[in-house]
Amino acid sequence: MTNQNVLTLFTINMSHYSEKVRWLLDYEELPYQEQALTPFVHALPMLIKGKRKRTTVPVIQQGKTCVQDSPRIVAWLSKEYGPLKSIPEELEVEVLEVQKRFDAIGKSVARYLYHTGFAHPAEIKNIWTQFAKPWENALVRMCYPTIKGLMKSQLNINDKAAAKAEQKIDQEIQWLEQRLSDGRQYLVGDRFTLADITAASLLAPLACPAQHPIYSTEDFREKIASSAKRWSASPAMEWVRNMYAQNRGQIWREKPRAA
Ligand SMILES: N[C@@H](CCC(=O)N[C@@H](CS)C(=O)NCC(=O)O)C(=O)O
């Protein structure tokens, strides 16, 4: 790959949508460099790169091209590097439907986890600043109450909304278990696809698979995701952990660079 062709993936370490695209790139064996951003500090660069009035990660960049939003990134990768083995042509419609379904619960998962997670500021600050430069580290720790307030209003984190998020997650877990009830291993067809990558990565912060560098830590499991223990022995969460054990491979063979 020439410099112009290098793929750069902008992520946040705790972000499950980032994990979805990271997993896809790893599975498709598309070489990329990951740049890990510090929450809050990420907003302006992502707003500028994304050009969509949004501040979200993941964003993928190749030369002057930047694509924001995970399903748009999937479509762009399919166009540039397709056909992708995770989206077999004959299963494409169904695979993309399942992608849409699980993309739609990402916000509920984040809302639900931050609702309990914010009771553990030391752990949240440590995770947020894993890749921070010294000035970012100081800024995020100093502004934590403000950042927390902004996130609470932006993500609508309150008791009522968290209870609704719990119901929504519960419904999707039931859908997943119903889908797997005939003994199938994969969500669409008889092979591993983007449908499995999306479902497993969007549910990973609840299932806390051992392979994930953030969700597997004791601080994350015991503090941030403590409320998700209610599902932890469910067949759906076991399926997520199996997908990780069997199909994820090593995450961060190369540590991301701080952006
Ligand atoms: N629809 C987007 C959602 C991405 C998203 O919500 N990302 C979260 C992290 S998991 C984020 O960037 N939050 C910070 C922000 O909105 O500025 C996608 O699929 O990429």
CA distance 211 to 4: 32
Please check the confidence at residue 51 and state whether its pLDDT lies above 70.
Answer: yes
User: Which atom of ligand 1 lies at the shortest distance from residue 154's CA?
Assistant: 16
Q: Are residues 66 and 149 in the same domain?
A: no
Whichever domain contains 198, its CATH number is 1.20.1050
Each residue's pLDDT tens digit, 121-173 = 999 999 999 999 999 999 999 999 999 999 999 999 999 999 999 999 999 99
Same-domain pairing of 111 and 227: yes
Q: Are residues 152 and 121 in the same domain?
A: yes
- Atom 12 of ligand 1, residue of closest alpha carbon: 56
Q: What is the pLDDT of residue 1?
A: 52
Structural domain range at position 186: 91-247
Domain shared by 239 and 155, yes or no: yes
Q: What is the pLDDT of residue 53?
A: 97
How high is the pLDDT of residue 5? 86
72 and 9 in a common domain: yes
- Map residue 34 onto helix, strand or coil: strand
Mutation test of ligand 1: which of 57, 99, 103, 153 has the most ligand atoms closer than 8 Å to its C-beta? 57
Q: What is the mean pLDDT of residues 18-43?
A: 98
- Distance from Cα 190 to the centre of ligand 1, integer Å: 30
Same domain, 193 and 110: yes
61: β partners: 8, 66
For residue 142, count other CB atoms closer than 10 A to its CB. 10
Centre a 10 Å sphere on the Cβ of residue 216 and count the other Cβ atoms it contains.
15
205 within ligand 1 shell (Cβ under 6 A): no
CA atoms within 13 A on the CB side of 20: 29
- Report how many domains make up the chain: 2
pTM: 0.98
pLDDT at res. 2:
53
Q: Which atom of ligand 1 is nearest to the CA of 56?
A: 12
Q: Both 77 and 100 in a single domain?
A: no
User: pLDDT, tens digit, for every residue of 8-18?
Assistant: 999 999 999 99
- Please state, in angstroms and rounded to a whole number, the distance separating the CA atoms of residues 259 and 253: 18
How confident is residue 259, by pLDDT bands cut at 50, 70 and 90? confident
Ligand 1 nearest-atom number relative to CA 14: 10
